[in-house]
Structure 1
Amino acid sequence: MNVKAIVLSGIIFISTTAMIAQENNAEKIVQANLDAYNAHDIELFMSFFSDDIAMHNFKDSKQTASGINEVRAIYEPYFKASPNLHSKILKRTVFDKKVIDHEYITGASGSSDPFEIVLIYEVEDTKIVKMTAIRKRN
């Protein structure tokens, strides 16, 4: 193997390792956010979102919240009204900087009726920058 091939192999290895680490980082951030959600810890939960977080509805591409303050305004009363709130991951896919979770939610807003939702999280560096919700049709 010549020197150019060795250097090229090293560059490919480093690039691949960095890409895998970035994917794992996205998954770790989303998992920590979910753990805070299940602990009903609003401060820790919010700490994983970027200041300019955008929340969207997949069905119509409508933006449902823009910015950290609007997201807090949704989740703070939701946590208070949901003492038994819990999300269980049914399936998780990690692709690049995106984490796609199929979740089973119980205890939302004091309800005994569970529901399923798919959330697509987009992560940049150490923060969730976009969250898109896919809900079942009624």
Structure 2
Amino acid sequence: MSDALAVVEQQFVAYNQHDLEKFAANFSESFTAWRMPATEPSMQGKQQLIDFYAQHRFNNPALRAELISRTVLGNKVFDLEKIHGLSEQPIDSVAVFEVNNGLIDRAWFYFA
């Protein structure tokens, strides 16, 4: 298993367990995320990630991600997911994770 695949799988499992400590351990201190088609980051820094998931995701017991498919291209992992628990119907999402030095450094999120 590639380093990129391993770290993305670890964060995916921790996400579904709502384990904030294990989840955050997979991200770099300089983590940056974009909610596309944004041109400015929606999240910058590991602490902002921790705060967001503590306050807006892992406090929701219905939250879970269903992995539909996963593709690895070098240090990038593309996950097609259905996100359950944020609305009445699951939300289709593509998450693109860039892994550097064994940690998720950047991510781009696309929602249908």
Output the TM-score relative to the length of structure 1.
Answer: 0.76
Looking at secondary structure, tell me which structure has more helix per residue: 1
What corresponds to 1:132 in structure 2?
108
* AA partner of residue 79 (structure 1): F
> Given the alignment of the two structures, is residue 79 of structure 1 paired with residue 58 of structure 2, yes or no?
yes
The one-letter amino acid of 1:125's match is N
Report which structure shows greater RCO (CA 8 Å, sep ≥6): 2
Q: Distance in 1 between matches of 2:11 and 2:38?
A: 25
Match of 2:85 in 1: 107
Alignment deviations for residues 57-103 of structure 1 (CA, whole Å, 9 cap, x no partner) = 221232001001111111111211x1021111111110000000011
Partners of 2:46 and 2:31 in 1: CA distance: 6
Deviations 1:97-134 (A, max 9, x none): 000001111113xx432111100000012100001111
- Report the RMSD for the aligned CA atoms in angstroms: 1.2
Structure with more of its chain in strand, by fraction: 2
Report how many residues are paired.
Answer: 111
SS at match of 2:28: strand
Q: TM-score, normalised by structure 2?
A: 0.93
Gaps of 5+ in 1: 1-20
- 4+ residue stretches of structure 1 with deviation over 2 A? none
